[in-house]
Amino acid sequence: MSRAGFSAFVCLFFAGCFCCSKAMPSKLNQETFNNRPVIGILTQIVSDDIMKPFGSTYIPASYVKYIESGGSRVMPIRLTHTTDEYENIFRQINGLLLIGGAANLETSDFARVAKIFYRLALKANDAGDFFPIWGTCMGMQQLTVLVAGENLLTNTTAENIALPLNLTAEASTSKMFEGFPSEFMKVLTQEPLTGNFHHYGLTVKTFQENEKLQSFFSILSTNVAENGAHFVSTIEGKRYPFYGTQWHPEVNRFQWDRKRNFPHSAHAVQLSSLLAQFFVEEGRRSLHQFDNPEEEASSLIYNYTPVYAANFTGYEQLYFF
Ligand SMILES: *[C@@H]1O[C@H](CO)[C@@H](O)[C@H](O)[C@H]1NC(C)=O
Ligand SMILES: *[C@@H]1O[C@H](CO)[C@@H](O)[C@H](O)[C@H]1NC(C)=O
Ligand SMILES: *[C@@H]1O[C@H](CO)[C@@H](O)[C@H](O)[C@H]1NC(C)=O
């Protein structure tokens, strides 16, 4: 959906208020913001044997802290609900984060639930009901499978390596990087601020040859894999507020395993902060809400306690569900 579409919706909303409140006219053309956003995070399927005793799905605490750092609360979303239940959750949350992991992108429960939210978000945005989605690593891969209607991923291994971004011309007019200082855009292309931990991805060639991907997303950056393949590393929806990074913005501030190349420089921290703030700001444009404070309170991540996991995984803390 377009910004104009959203404004039209808001204008109608205020026009409605105007009839019964004469104090409103100065706000006629302003957007309404939701300053108590809740971003949903789909739980990820446990595939590591060592994690299995704790639960069947999990969310690394790094993603939760990342979203919280932008000024949002987090609702964990299990993979075991019915479609009706997901429709109800959709009406309550203000954005969705699809995280990294290892699951089948067409047949897994993760894929099934991601597809339900993806379709709801398309429909909502088309109707002027703003709803952002962000996919990180496998989450971005999942978005490309949903848009293309098929899995087009190939070997683009970039495992445990921090890279500078090869920004495209479209990055300079993107929404994702709109608020970035111009000197910082240059830093992005020079310093290795993006942590890559993936085996598969979309090559630039595959992307450009696919009509659906090409018309849906703009490529904001590319990188080169270990096998020399140029892969798409950052994308943004042209009409929809859907974003994807093949790299991991959350690790820059919230993961510390010494065996991994997590970027922790001041610039790396700044990048992670700017993107968390950007995505939560998108969430503030969603006016979805819970029916009552009790339902909201019982749905939030605060009801769960993360497990210390640095001695058996690469993560410091994990939430299990
Ligand atoms: C950067 O991307 C351009 C295309 O946008 C490509 O021609 C160039 O080879 C890439 N450079 C690197 C270092 O990846
Ligand atoms: C992908 O390519 C890299 C580098 O050529 C190779 O080491 C790796 O085994 C390949 N991985 C898969 C899953 O094919
Ligand atoms: C990790 O440390 C916790 C205590 O902090 C301990 O209870 C647990 O057994 C350890 N796990 C492994 C796999 O070593």
Q: Per residue in 26-54, pLDDT tens?
A: 444 456 899 999 999 999 999 999 999 99
In tens, the pLDDT along 175-212 reads 999 999 999 999 999 999 999 999 999 999 999 999 99
pLDDT category at 243 given cuts 50, 70, 90 is very high
pLDDT at residue 14 greater than cutoff 60:
no
Q: Ligand 2: distance of its center to the CA of 116 in Å?
A: 32
Gap from CA of 260 to ligand 3 centroid (Å): 20
| Whether 11 is catalytic | no
Three-state DSSP at 163 gives strand
Q: How far is the CA of 230 from the centre of ligand 1 (A)?
A: 8
> Quick check: 268 and 256 in contact, CB under 8 A?
no
Closest CA to 305 of 321, 288, 292, 289: 321
Between CA 312 and CA 258 the distance in angstroms is 13
Q: Which residue has the higher pLDDT, 11 or 196?
A: 196
Of 297 and 19, which is predicted with more confidence?
A: 297
C-alpha to C-alpha distance for 93 and 290, rounded to whole angstroms = 8
Ligand 1 contact via 221 beta carbon (within 6 Å): no
- Alpha carbon of residue 276 to chain centroid: 9
Environment class of 228 (CB within 10 Å of its CB; exposed 0-12, middle 13-18, buried 19+): exposed
Atom of ligand 1 nearest to the CA of 223: 14
Using a pLDDT cut of 70, give the percent of the chain over it: 90
Cα–Cα dist 42/85, whole Å? 14
The pTM for the full model equals: 0.90
Q: Which of 17, 81, 198, 248 is catalytic?
A: 248
Closest to 254 in 3D by CA, of 306, 183, 202, 206? 306
Does residue 312 have its Cβ closer than 6 Å to ligand 3?
A: yes
Mean pLDDT in residue range 64-74: 98
Mean pLDDT of the chain: 92
d(CA 213, CA 190): 28
With cut-offs at 50, 70 and 90, classify the pLDDT of residue 15.
very low
Compute CA distances 103 → 99, 110, 203, whole Å. 11, 7, 20
* Tens digits of residue pLDDT in 103-115: 999 999 999 999 9
What pLDDT does 6 receive? 38
Whether residue 201 contacts residue 235, with contact meaning beta carbons closer than 8 Å, is answered with: no
| Cα 63 to Cα 99: distance, rounded to the nearest angstrom | 8
Residue 19 bears catalytic tag: no
- Domains, the chain, with CATH or none: 37-320 (3.40.50.880)
